[in-house]
C-alpha cells in the first residue's frame, strides 16, 4: 500500500512538472540577473516552469507537451508601456482615420475634408495638433481655418491649448474687447485682433468640444481593439494613466468577458485646487493601490500639475525667455501654469501616504517637478514614503538636485522619449543649452539609481509608429538608446543609455512601478508566462535597426494573443 501511494505521489509530481509547451532554439534575453541569455523556455499553467539550454528544457517534455521551434529568433520578456490612454486613443478614430499631419497645409486639407462630411452647425474638432511638430513651427490662425472651412466652427484642440476659427470665436463670444485671461494666453495680431490661438484659459473654448454620445459598447469595443493593437507590437502589460469610475467599469467588463489581452494597471485621475476638496475626494474612493489581480489592478492616484512643454504652458523654474516663436507669443518672464496649488499637492501627497495610495502627478516643467518633490518631502516628514514608489509622470527636466531628491525618497519616474525625438529640435532654442542638458536625462537617472520606466503617452490613433504618441516599444527604445531626433540630429548624446537599460525601462522597471517585479518583467521560473518573439536579436542587431524590429508572436499567460502572418 505504501509503495502504491509513493508511486501515485511520484506520478502526480511528474505531471505537475511536465510543461504544457516548450519553446526552443531561440535567442532569449531573459532580463534575469543570474541567467541573462537562454535558448529555451517551458510553460506550465500560465507560468514559466523552466528556462535554460535546449537540452535542459526539452528533457522536461512529456507525451502531451507541445514543442515550438523558434528557429533562432530573438525572444524578450513581455513588454510594458508605463503610460497609455487606450480608450481615448481608440475613440479618436471611432468614425474616421486621422491622417499624419506634419505641416499646416496638411492640417487645413484635413479640416476641409471634415467640413465636407460634418453637417453645418456642428463643430469640426481636430485633436492633438502641436506647433512643435509642424514644418512651419507655428499654429495655423483663425483666418487660415476660415479659408479651409468657410463660416464653420473649427477647433484644433490639444487639451491644454486650442485654435478657433472665426465662427468658433463668435460662438463663444470672444472679440477684440475680451480681456486677457488670468490663467493663460489669448494671442492677438498687431492690430489687437484675436488670432484664434489660446494657451490654457480653457474656460474660453472648452465648451466647443463635441458632446456626442459615446456608448459603453463603443468604449469597450475600441479598448479591446486597442489592446490587440498593443499585442501586435509585443506589449503585454500597460499602465492606463488616467481613468475615472467609468473607465474602471469598462476594464472590469472586458475582464469579466475574458477580453483583456494586456495586463493593465489603472491610474485614477482626480482634479481640484482646493486642499480640503482633494482630501475628501480621495477619502471617498473605495479602493487603493494594489486592489485587483494579475490582469487588472489599481495603480496610482494622479493629478495634472501643469501644462506642456509643447505648448509653452509647462511650469518652469524660471521664465521661458525670449526664444518662444514656436509658441507664437513673447513673454520672457512667463513661467507657465501650475494648475494645482502647492498646498493642494502637499495635501494630496499626505492623504495618499495615509490611505495607502501610490501617488503621481503630471509634471512637464522643472518647476512643477520641484513642487511635486516638495509635496512628497512634506508627506515623508509625517510618515516615510520610501518603498511606496511615489512617481513623477513625464518629469521632462529633472536637474541634478531633483534627481538626488528623488533618489533619497525612493521616487520613480514614468518617462516618454517621444518628446525628445519629435520635439527636441523645436524646443531647444526655447530652453537653451543649460536647461536642455537636463531634458529627459536617462543616463543621469540610471547612474543615480533612480528607477525610470519607459512609456509612450499614447493618446491618438491606432498606428503604432504614426500615433500621437507612437506606442511601438522598439521605436521608443531606439529613441532612448540613440537620442536621435526626427530631424536625425543627436540631441544630448551624453544622456544615451545602453540597449540593455532601454529594455529594462520597458520590462523590469515598468513592473517595478506597479509593484509587480516579482511577477513579470523577466523570463524566470515562477513568473507569469508573458513574452514576445521578435524579428531580430534586440541585443546584437545594428543599433539603427532597433526601431524597425517587429513582433512575430506575442504570448500572455502562456497563450498566443498575436501571431504575425
* Residue 359: CATH number of its domain: 3.20.20.140
Considering the domain architecture, whether residues 361 and 456 belong to the same structural domain is answered as yes
In-domain check, residue 432: yes
Which pLDDT score, from 0 to 100, does residue 96 have?
Answer: 82
Considering the domain architecture, whether residues 259 and 335 belong to the same structural domain is answered as yes
Which pLDDT score, from 0 to 100, does residue 492 have?
Answer: 97
pLDDT tens per residue across span 53-90: 999 999 999 999 999 999 999 999 999 999 999 999 99
Considering the domain architecture, whether residues 226 and 165 belong to the same structural domain is answered as no
pLDDT tens per residue across span 208-245: 988 667 899 999 999 999 999 999 999 999 999 999 99
pLDDT surpassing 90 at residue 17: no
Specify the CATH number for the domain of residue 132. Answer: 3.10.310.70
> Quick one: average pLDDT of 100-118?
95
Confidence of residue 159 (pLDDT cuts 50, 70, 90): confident
Considering the domain architecture, whether residues 439 and 491 belong to the same structural domain is answered as yes
Which pLDDT score, from 0 to 100, does residue 16 have?
Answer: 63
Considering the domain architecture, whether residues 63 and 186 belong to the same structural domain is answered as no
Overall number of domains in the chain: 3
Rounded Cα distance between 173 and 156, Å, is: 18
- What DSSP element (H or E) covers 49? strand 47-52
In-domain check, residue 550: no
> Quick one: average pLDDT of 333-360?
96
Query: What residues make up the domain containing 203?
Result: 97-208
In-domain check, residue 523: no
In-domain check, residue 78: no
Considering the domain architecture, whether residues 269 and 354 belong to the same structural domain is answered as yes
Which pLDDT score, from 0 to 100, does residue 15 have?
Answer: 53
Considering the domain architecture, whether residues 227 and 110 belong to the same structural domain is answered as no
In-domain check, residue 555: no
> Quick one: average pLDDT of 516-530?
98
> Quick one: average pLDDT of 195-215?
87
Domain boundary among 23, 57, 72: 72
> Quick one: average pLDDT of 552-561?
98
**For residue 221, what are the CA distances in angstroms to 73, 225, 250, 282, 383?**
33, 6, 10, 30, 43
pLDDT tens per residue across span 490-506: 999 999 999 999 999 99
> Quick one: average pLDDT of 311-330?
95
Which pLDDT score, from 0 to 100, does residue 13 have?
Answer: 37
Confidence of residue 8 (pLDDT cuts 50, 70, 90): very low
Domain boundary among 178, 208, 238: 208
pLDDT surpassing 80 at residue 469: yes
Q: Counting beta carbons within 10 angstroms of the beta carbon of residue 18, is it exposed (0 to 12), middle (13 to 18) or buried (19 or more)?
A: middle
Rounded Cα distance between 203 and 171, Å, is: 14
> Quick one: average pLDDT of 529-537?
97
C-alpha count within 13 angstroms, C-beta hemisphere, residue 46? 7
Considering the domain architecture, whether residues 147 and 236 belong to the same structural domain is answered as no
Considering the domain architecture, whether residues 198 and 305 belong to the same structural domain is answered as no
Q: Which of 67-71, 262-266, 337-341 has the lowest mean pLDDT?
A: 337-341
Domain boundary among 189, 208, 227: 208
Mean pLDDT of all residues belonging to the chain: 94
Considering the domain architecture, whether residues 330 and 394 belong to the same structural domain is answered as yes
> Quick one: average pLDDT of 2-27?
64
Question: What phi, psi does 158 have (nearest 5°)?
Answer: -95, -10
In-domain check, residue 349: yes
Considering the domain architecture, whether residues 349 and 495 belong to the same structural domain is answered as yes
pLDDT surpassing 90 at residue 160: no
- What DSSP element (H or E) covers 433? helix 418-436
pLDDT tens per residue across span 410-427: 999 999 999 999 999 999
Q: What is the helix, strand, coil percentage profile of the chain, to 5?
A: 35, 20, 45
DSSP SS3 for 50: strand
In-domain check, residue 537: no
In-domain check, residue 520: no
Percent of the chain having pLDDT more than 70?
97
Specify the CATH number for the domain of residue 35. Answer: 2.30.40.10
Considering the domain architecture, whether residues 324 and 390 belong to the same structural domain is answered as yes
Which pLDDT score, from 0 to 100, does residue 399 have?
Answer: 98
Q: Are 418 and 470 in contact (CB under 8 A)?
A: yes
Amino acid at each position: 500500500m505504501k509503495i502504491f501511494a509513493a508511486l501515485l505521489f511520484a506520478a502526480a509530481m511528474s505531471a505537475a512538472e511536465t510543461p504544457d509547451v516548450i519553446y526552443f532554439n531561440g535567442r532569449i534575453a531573459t532580463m534575469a540577473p543570474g541567467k541573462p541569455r537562454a535558448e529555451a523556455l517551458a510553460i506550465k499553467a500560465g507560468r514559466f516552469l523552466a528556462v535554460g539550454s535546449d537540452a535542459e528544457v526539452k528533457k522536461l517534455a512529456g507525451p502531451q507537451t507541445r514543442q515550438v521551434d523558434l528557429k533562432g529568433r530573438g525572444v524578450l520578456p513581455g513588454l510594458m508601456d508605463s503610460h497609455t490612454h487606450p480608450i481615448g486613443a481608440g475613440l479618436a478614430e471611432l468614425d474616421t482615420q486621422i491622417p499624419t499631419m506634419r505641416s499646416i497645409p496638411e492640417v487645413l486639407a484635413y479640416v476641409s475634408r471634415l467640413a465636407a462630411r460634418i453637417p453645418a452647425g456642428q463643430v469640426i474638432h481636430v485633436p492633438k495638433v502641436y506647433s512643435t511638430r509642424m514644418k512651419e513651427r507655428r499654429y495655423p490662425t483663425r483666418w487660415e481655418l476660415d479659408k479651409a472651412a468657410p463660416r464653420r466652427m473649427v477647433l484644433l484642440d490639444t487639451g491644454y491649448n486650442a485654435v478657433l476659427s472665426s465662427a468658433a470665436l463668435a460662438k463663444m463670444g470672444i472679440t477684440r474687447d475680451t480681456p486677457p485671461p488670468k490663467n493663460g494666453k489669448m494671442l492677438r495680431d498687431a492690430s489687437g485682433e484675436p488670432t484664434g490661438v489660446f494657451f490654457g484659459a480653457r474656460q474660453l473654448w472648452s465648451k466647443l468640444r463635441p458632446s456626442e454620445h459615446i456608448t459603453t459598447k463603443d468604449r469597450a469595443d475600441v479598448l479591446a481593439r486597442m489592446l490587440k493593437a498593443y499585442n501586435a507590437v509585443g506589449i503585454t502589460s500597460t499602465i492606463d494613466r488616467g481613468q475615472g469610475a467609468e473607465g474602471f467599469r469598462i476594464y472590469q467588463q472586458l475582464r469579466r468577458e475574458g477580453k483583456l489581452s494586456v495586463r493593465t494597471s489603472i491610474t485614477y485621475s482626480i482634479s481640484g485646487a482646493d486642499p480640503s476638496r482633494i482630501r475628501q475626494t480621495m477619502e471617498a474612493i473605495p479602493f487603493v493601490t494594489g486592489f485587483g489581480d494579475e490582469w487588472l489592478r489599481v495603480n496610482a492616484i494622479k493629478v495634472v500639475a501643469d501644462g506642456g512643454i509643447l505648448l509653452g504652458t509647462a511650469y518652469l523654474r524660471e521664465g521661458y525667455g525670449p526664444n518662444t516663436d514656436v509658441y507664437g507669443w513673447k513673454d520672457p518672464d512667463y513661467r507657465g501654469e501650475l494648475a494645482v496649488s502647492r498646498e493642494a499637492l502637499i495635501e494630496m501627497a499626505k492623504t495618499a501616504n495615509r490611505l495607502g495610495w501610490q501617488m503621481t502627478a503630471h509634471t512637464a516643467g522643472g518647476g512643477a517637478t520641484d513642487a511635486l518633490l516638495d509635496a512628497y518631502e512634506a508627506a515623508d516628514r509625517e510618515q516615510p514614503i520610501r518603498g511606496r514608489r511615489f512617481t513623477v509622470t513625464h518629469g521632462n527636466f529633472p536637474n541634478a538636485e531633483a534627481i538626488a531628491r528623488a533618489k533619497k525618497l525612493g521616487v520613480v519616474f514614468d518617462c516618454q522619449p517621444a518628446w525628445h525625438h519629435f520635439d527636441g529640435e523645436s524646443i531647444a532654442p526655447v530652453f537653451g543649452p543649460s536647461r536642455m542638458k537636463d531634458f529627459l536625462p536617462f543616463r543621469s537617472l540610471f547612474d543615480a539609481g533612480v528607477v525610470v520606466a519607459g512609456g509612450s503617452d499614447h493618446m491618438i490613433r491606432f498606428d503604432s509608429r504614426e500615433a500621437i504618441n507612437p506606442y511601438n516599444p522598439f521605436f521608443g527604445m531606439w529613441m532612448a538608446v540613440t537620442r536621435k531626433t526626427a530631424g536625425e540630429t543627436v540631441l544630448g548624446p551624453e544622456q544615451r543609455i545602453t540597449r540593455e537599460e532601454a529594455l529594462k525601462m520597458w520590462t523590469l522597471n515598468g513592473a517595478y512601478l506597479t509593484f509587480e517585479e516579482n511577477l513579470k518583467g523577466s523570463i524566470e521560473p515562477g513568473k507569469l508566462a508573458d513574452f514576445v518573439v521578435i524579428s531580430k536579436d534586440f541585443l546584437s542587431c545594428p543599433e539603427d535597426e532597433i526601431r524597425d524590429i517587429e513582433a512575430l508572436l506575442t504570448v500572455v499567460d502562456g497563450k498566443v494573443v498575436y501571431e504575425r502572418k
